[in-house]
Structure 1
Amino acid sequence: MPSTSSYTVGLCALLQLGTALPAPWGSSKWPHHGNGKGDQSGINVQVGPRPYYLVDNMDDGDLKDQLEACSEKPISTSHFSISHRGAPLMFPEHTKQGYIAAARMGAGIIECDVSFTSDRELVCRHSNCDLHYTTNILAKPELAAKCTSPFVPYNPETGEEASAECCTSDITLAEFKSLCGEMEATTYNALNTSEYMGRIGSTPDWRTNMYAYSCADTVSLKEYISLVDSMGLDFTAEAKEPEVPMPFQGDYTQNDFVQQIVDTFTGANIPASRVWLQSFLPRDIYYWLENDPDFGAQAIYLDERGDTSTKAYEKAVASLPRLAAKGVKIVAPDLWQLVAADNATGKIIPSTYATTARDVGLDIITWSFERSGPLESGGGSYYTGINHLINNDGDEYTVIDVIAREIGVIGIFADWPATITYYANCFGL
Structure 2
Amino acid sequence: MAVSLLPRLVLAATVVTVAGLAVLPPAAGAPGNRGGVARPGAERQPLVIGHRGASGHRPEHTLAAYELAARMGADYIEPDLVATKDGVLVARHENEISGTTDVAERPEFADRKTTKTIDGVEVTGWFTEDFTLAELKTLRAKERLPQLRPDNTRYDGRYEVPTFQEVIDLTRRLSRELDRDIGIYPETKHPSYFSSIGLPLESPLVRTLTRNGLNHKNAKVFVQSFEVSNLKALEKAVRVPLVQLVWTDGQPYDFTEAGDERTYADMVTREGLAEIATYADGVGPEKTMVISWNDDGSLGAPTDLVPDAHDAGLVVHPYTFRAENVFLPSDYRSSDDPAEHGDLAGELRTYYDLGVDGVFTDFPDIGVAARDD
TM-score (norm 2): 0.71
Amino acid corresponding to residue 137 of structure 2 in structure 1: K
Amino acid corresponding to residue 241 of structure 1 in structure 2: H
Matches within 5 A, 1:12-51: none
Amino acid corresponding to residue 186 of structure 2 in structure 1: A
> Deviations along 1:269-295, whole A, 9 cap, x unmatched?
235421111100111221111222x12
Structure 2 residue 220 is matched with structure 1 residue 274: yes
- Give the aligned partner of residue 107 of structure 2: 141
Which of 48, 54, 57 pairs up with 1:87? 54
> Deviations along 1:92-137, whole A, 9 cap, x unmatched?
11111111221221112111100000111110011111x1111011
Contact 1:320 / 1:356 at 8 angstroms: preserved in 2? no
State the alpha-carbon separation in 1 of the partners of residues 52 and 277 from structure 2: 31
The Cα shift of 1:239 comes to 0.5
Change (3 A) 1:144 1:79: farther
The Cα shift of 1:245 comes to 6.3
Structure 2 residue 90 is matched with structure 1 residue 123: yes
The Cα shift of 1:391 comes to 4.2
State the alpha-carbon separation in 1 of the partners of residues 148 and 138 from structure 2: 28
2:185 alignment partner, SS class: strand
Q: How many residues align?
A: 296
Q: Structure 1: any 5+ residue segments left out of the alignment?
A: 1-77, 151-162, 186-202
- Give the aligned partner of residue 174 of structure 2: 231
Contact 2:102 / 2:141 at 8 angstroms: preserved in 1? yes
Q: Structure 2: any 5+ residue segments left out of the alignment?
A: 1-44, 117-122, 176-181, 252-261, 335-340
Contact 2:319 / 2:360 at 8 angstroms: preserved in 1? yes
Relative to its length, the structure with more helix (as a share) is 1
Which of 176, 194, 205 pairs up with 1:261? 205
Structure 2 residue 242 is matched with structure 1 residue 299: yes
Structure 2 residue 217 is matched with structure 1 residue 217: no
Structure 2 residue 302 is matched with structure 1 residue 350: yes
TM-score (norm 1): 0.63
State the alpha-carbon separation in 1 of the partners of residues 299 and 148 from structure 2: 30
- Give the aligned partner of residue 35 of structure 1: none
2:99 alignment partner, SS class: helix
- Give the aligned partner of residue 65 of structure 2: 98
Amino acid corresponding to residue 401 of structure 1 in structure 2: R
Contact 2:48 / 2:76 at 8 angstroms: preserved in 1? yes
> Deviations along 1:224-274, whole A, 9 cap, x unmatched?
1111121111111100015856432xx44x4xx212112112112235421
C-alpha RMSD of matched pairs (Å): 2.8
State the alpha-carbon separation in 2 of the partners of residues 340 and 364 from structure 1: 16
The Cα shift of 1:142 comes to 1.5
Contact 1:348 / 1:399 at 8 angstroms: preserved in 2? no
The Cα shift of 1:207 comes to 4.5
2:151 alignment partner, SS class: coil
Structure 2 residue 371 is matched with structure 1 residue 424: yes
- Give the aligned partner of residue 344 of structure 2: 396
State the alpha-carbon separation in 2 of the partners of residues 314 and 268 from structure 1: 37
- Give the aligned partner of residue 6 of structure 2: none
Contact 1:122 / 1:220 at 8 angstroms: preserved in 2? yes
Contact 1:79 / 1:108 at 8 angstroms: preserved in 2? no
Query: Relative contact order (alpha carbons < 8 A, sep ≥ 6): 1 or 2 greater?
Result: 2
The Cα shift of 1:204 comes to 1.9
Which of 232, 254, 257 pairs up with 1:286? 232
The Cα shift of 1:324 comes to 4.3
- Give the aligned partner of residue 38 of structure 2: none
Structure 2 residue 276 is matched with structure 1 residue 334: no
Contact 1:369 / 1:413 at 8 angstroms: preserved in 2? yes
State the alpha-carbon separation in 2 of the partners of residues 214 and 114 from structure 1: 21
Contact 2:62 / 2:159 at 8 angstroms: preserved in 1? yes
Contact 2:231 / 2:280 at 8 angstroms: preserved in 1? yes
Which of 109, 128, 132 pairs up with 1:172? 132
State the alpha-carbon separation in 2 of the partners of residues 104 and 307 from structure 1: 35
Contact 1:118 / 1:173 at 8 angstroms: preserved in 2? yes
State the alpha-carbon separation in 2 of the partners of residues 302 and 168 from structure 1: 23
2:316 alignment partner, SS class: strand
Pick the structure with greater CA Rg. 1
Amino acid corresponding to residue 134 of structure 1 in structure 2: T
> Deviations along 1:124-155, whole A, 9 cap, x unmatched?
011111x11110111211223223349xxxxx
Contact 2:286 / 2:318 at 8 angstroms: preserved in 1? yes
Matches within 5 A, 1:148-159: 148-149=114-115
Contact 1:93 / 1:184 at 8 angstroms: preserved in 2? yes
Structure 2 residue 261 is matched with structure 1 residue 317: no
State the alpha-carbon separation in 2 of the partners of residues 245 and 263 from structure 1: 17
The Cα shift of 1:214 comes to 4.2
Contact 1:282 / 1:301 at 8 angstroms: preserved in 2? yes
Q: Percent identity?
A: 25
